Amino acid sequence: MPVTREGFEPLIVAFCCNWCSYAGADLAGTSRQTYPSNVRVIRVPCSGRVNPGFIIRAFQRGADGVLVAGCHPGDCHYHSGNYHARRRFTILKQMLDYLGIEPERFQVRWISGSEGAKFSAVMNELTENVRKLGPNRKLRDAR
Amino acid sequence: MSTANGKIRSSAAEALAEGRVTLVLGWRKKDFWWQSPVAFVESAAEAEQLTFDPFSVYNPVKYLLEAAGCHEKVGVFVKGCDSRGINRLLQDKRLEREQVLIFGLPCSGMVDPVKIRAAFPAPKICEVARDGEELLVRLSDGQERVQTADFLLEKCLTCRHPNPVVYDRLLWERVPVRSGVDALRFARVSSVAQQQIQERYAYWTRQFSRCIRCFACRNTCPACNCRSCIFDQAEPRWLGKASDMSDTLNYQITRAFHVAGRCFECGECERICPAGIPLQELNRRLIMDIDKYFGPYEAGLAPGDLPPLGTYRGEDPAGFDES
Amino acid sequence: MKVTADKVNSSLVKEVEEISGQKVSACFQCGKCTGGCPVVSSMDIFPHLVLRFAQLGLLEELLHSKTLWICASCQTCDSRCPRDVDIPKVIEALRLLLLRRKGGNRLHPANLSDRVRADAPQQGLVSAFRKYAK
Amino acid sequence: MRYSYYPGCTLKTKANNFEKTALRTAGALGLEMVEVPEWQCCGALYPLNTDELFPLLAPVRALAQAKEAGHGTLVTLCAGCYNVFKRTNREMSRNGEVRRKVNGYLQEEYTGEVNVLHYLEVLKKEVGFASLAEKAQKKLTGRKVAPYYGCLLLKPRDEMDFDDVENPTIFEDFLRALGAEPVDYPYKTECCGSYLSMADEEVAATAVGRILLSARKSGAELLVVACPLCRYNLEEYGRELTERTGGEASLPVLYFTELLAEALAVGSETYGEEK
Amino acid sequence: MRRTGVFICWCGSNIAATVDIDLAVAAAKKMPGVVFADQNKYTCSEIGQEMIREAIRTHRLERVVVAACSPRMHENTFRKTVAAAGLNPYFLEIANIREQCSWVHKDKETATDKAIALIRTAVAKAARNEALFASELPIERRALVIGGGIAGIQAALDIAENGFVVDLVEKEPSIGGRMAQLDKTFPTLDCSACILTPKMVEVAQSEKITIFSYAEVEKVEGYVGNFTVTVRSRARSVDMGKCTGCGDCMLKCPVKVDSEFDLGLIKRRAIYTPFPQAVPNKPAIDRENCRWFTAGKCRVCEKVCPAGAIDYSQEDELRTEKYGAIVVATGFDPKKLDNYGEYAYGKHPDVLTSLEFERLLNASGPTGGKILRPSNGRPPKNVAFIQCVGSRDKAKGNPYCAKVCCMYTAKHAILLCEKVPGARPFVFYIDVRTPGKDYEEFYNRAYEEFGATYIKGNVSKVFPDGEKLLVRSVDALSGALVELEVDMVVLANSVDARAGAKELAQKLSITTNAYNFFNEAHPKLRPVETHTAGIFLAGTCQGPKDIPETVAQASAAAVKVAALLGKDSLLSNPTVAEVNEKLCTGDMSCLAVCPYGAISEKMLEERRGRETVRRKVAEVNMALCQGCGACTVACRPGAINLKGFTNEQIMAEVEAICL
The model's pLDDT over E29-50, given as tens digits with 9 standing for 90+, comes to: 999 999 999 999 999 999 999 9
Residues C36, E397: C-beta atoms closer than 8 Å: no
Answer yes or no: is pLDDT of B94 > 90.
yes
At C22-55, the pLDDT tens digits run 999 999 999 999 999 999 999 999 999 999 999 9
Answer yes or no: is pLDDT of E372 > 80.
yes
Count Cβ atoms below 10 Å from residue B91 Cβ, excluding itself: 23
What's the per-residue H, E or C state across chain B? CHHHHHHHHHHHHHHHHCCCCCEEEEEECCCCCCCCCEEEECCCCHHHHECCCCCCCCCHHHHHHHHHHHCCCEEEEECHHHHHHHHHHHHCCCCCHHHEEEEECCCCCCECHHHHHHHCCCCCEEEEEEECCEEEEEECCEEEEEEHHHHECHHHHCCCCCCCCCCCEECCCCCCCCCCHHHHHCHHHHHHHCCCHHHHHHHHHHHHCCCCCCCHHHHHCCCCCCCCCHHHCCCCCCCCCCCCHHHHHHHHHHHHHHHCCCCCCCCHHHHHCCCCCCHHHHHHHHHHHHHHHHCCCCCCCCCCCCCHHHCCCCCCCCCCCCC
Q: What is the mean pLDDT of residues D222-228?
A: 95
At E198-231, the pLDDT tens digits run 999 999 999 999 999 999 999 998 888 999 999 9
Residues E481, C34: C-beta atoms closer than 8 Å: yes
Chains touching chain A at 3 or more Cβ pairs under 8 angstroms?
Answer: B, E
Residues B246, A142: C-beta atoms closer than 8 Å: yes
Of A34, A37, A71, the CB nearest to E114: A37
Lowest mean pLDDT among C105-114, D247-256, E35-44: D247-256
What whole-number distance in Å separates Cα of residue A49 and Cα of residue A58? 15
Q: Residue D113 burial (CB < 10 Å; 0-12/13-18/19+)?
A: middle
Tell me how far CA of residue A124 lies from CA of A130, A131, E105, in angstroms.
10, 10, 12
Most E-contacting residue of A26, A111, A136 (CB-CB within 10 A), to test interface: A26
ipTM: 0.68
> Does the CB of B144 have a partner CB in chain A at under 8 Å?
no
Looking at residue B230, its pLDDT comes to 94
Contacts for C103-106: CB closer than 8 Å, 24+ residues apart: C104/C134, C105/C132, C105/C133, C105/C134, C106/C69, C106/C132, C106/C133, C106/D199
Answer yes or no: is pLDDT of D53 > 90.
no
Q: Residue E506 burial (CB < 10 Å; 0-12/13-18/19+)?
A: middle
Looking at residue D249, its pLDDT comes to 63
Looking at residue E614, its pLDDT comes to 87
Q: Which residues between 7 and 36 in chain A have a beta carbon less than 8 angstroms from any beta carbon of chain E?
A: 11, 13, 18-20, 22-23, 25-26, 28-30, 32-36
Looking at residue D268, its pLDDT comes to 55
How near does any CA of chain C get to the CA of D152, in Å? 7
Can you spell out the DSSP letters for A76-132?
-TTSSHHHHHHHHHHHHHHHHHHTT--GGGEEEEE--TT-HHHHHHHHHHHHHHHHH
Q: What confidence tier does B2 reach under pLDDT thresholds 50, 70, 90?
A: low
Of E393, E431, E473, the CB nearest to C35: E473
Q: Is the peptide bond before B308 cis (omega within 30 degrees of 0)?
A: no
Give percent of chain D with pLDDT exceeding 70: 96
Most C-contacting residue of E335, E398, E405, E474 (CB-CB within 10 A), to test interface: E474
Answer yes or no: is pLDDT of E309 > 60.
yes
Count Cβ atoms below 10 Å from residue E517 Cβ, excluding itself: 22
Q: What confidence tier does A143 reach under pLDDT thresholds 50, 70, 90?
A: low
Scanning every residue of chain D, which has its alpha carbon at the shortest distance from the alpha carbon of C36? D190
Q: Residue C106 burial (CB < 10 Å; 0-12/13-18/19+)?
A: middle
> Does the CB of B229 have a partner CB in chain A at under 8 Å?
no
Q: Which residues between 493 and 522 in chain E have a beta carbon less than 8 angstroms from any beta carbon of chain A?
A: 502, 505-506, 509, 511-514, 519
> Does the CB of B92 have a partner CB in chain E at under 8 Å?
yes
> Does the CB of D186 have a partner CB in chain E at under 8 Å?
yes
Q: What is the mean pLDDT of residues D67-95?
A: 91
Scanning every residue of chain D, which has its alpha carbon at the shortest distance from the alpha carbon of C132? D199
Give percent of chain E with pLDDT exceeding 70: 100
Of B93, B230, B237, the CB nearest to E587: B93
How near does any CA of chain C get to the CA of D126, in Å? 28
Residue type at position E388: C
Query: D77-101: buried (b, 16+ CB within 10 Å) or exposed (e) per residue?
Result: bbbbbbbbbbbbbbbbeeeeebbee
Looking at residue D269, its pLDDT comes to 52
What whole-number distance in Å separates Cα of residue E452 and Cα of residue E424? 7
Looking at residue E522, its pLDDT comes to 77
User: Which ranges of C1-134 would DSSP assign to H, the alpha helix?
Assistant: 11-20, 32-36, 47-56, 59-63, 67-70, 76-80, 87-99, 114-119, 122-132
What whole-number distance in Å separates Cα of residue B146 and Cα of residue B142? 14
Scanning every residue of chain E, which has its alpha carbon at the shortest distance from the alpha carbon of A51? E633
Q: Which residues between 102 and 131 in chain E have a beta carbon less than 8 angstroms from any beta carbon of chain A?
A: 103-107, 110-111, 113-114, 117-118, 121
Q: How many CA atoms does the CB half-sphere of A22 hold within 13 Å?
A: 20
Packing angle between helix A81-98 and helix A52-60, nearest 10 degrees? 40
Contacts for E82-85: CB closer than 8 Å, 24+ residues apart: E82/E52, E82/E53, E82/E56, E84/E53, E85/E52, E85/E53, E85/E56, E85/E57
Tell me how far CA of residue A55 lies from CA of A107, B201, D19, E286, in angstroms.
11, 19, 64, 56
Rounded to two decimals, the pTM is: 0.73
> Does the CB of E458 have a partner CB in chain C at under 8 Å?
yes
* Chain B residues touching residue A89 (CB < 8 angstroms): 319-320
Packing angle between helix B197-208 and helix B245-259, nearest 10 degrees? 100
What whole-number distance in Å separates Cα of residue B310 and Cα of residue B304? 12
Q: What confidence tier does A3 reach under pLDDT thresholds 50, 70, 90?
A: very low
Residues E648, B258: C-beta atoms closer than 8 Å: no
Q: Residue B181 burial (CB < 10 Å; 0-12/13-18/19+)?
A: middle
How near does any CA of chain C get to the CA of D201, in Å? 9
Is D126 in contact with D1 (CB distance < 8 Å)?
A: yes
* Chain E residues touching residue A76 (CB < 8 angstroms): 509
Residues B306, E648: C-beta atoms closer than 8 Å: no
Most E-contacting residue of D149, D166, D191, D214 (CB-CB within 10 A), to test interface: D166
What's the per-residue H, E or C state across E404-439? CHHHHHHHHHHHHHHHCCCCEEEEEECCCCCCCCCH
Helix (H, G, I), strand (E, B) or coil at D144: strand
Q: Quote the longest CA-to-CA distance of chain E.
A: 104
Of A22, A37, A54, the CB nearest to E650: A54
At E400-442, the pLDDT tens digits run 999 999 999 999 999 999 999 999 999 999 999 999 999 999 9
Residue E359: CB partners within 8 Å, gap ≥ 6?
E181, E183, E262, E263, E265, E365, E366
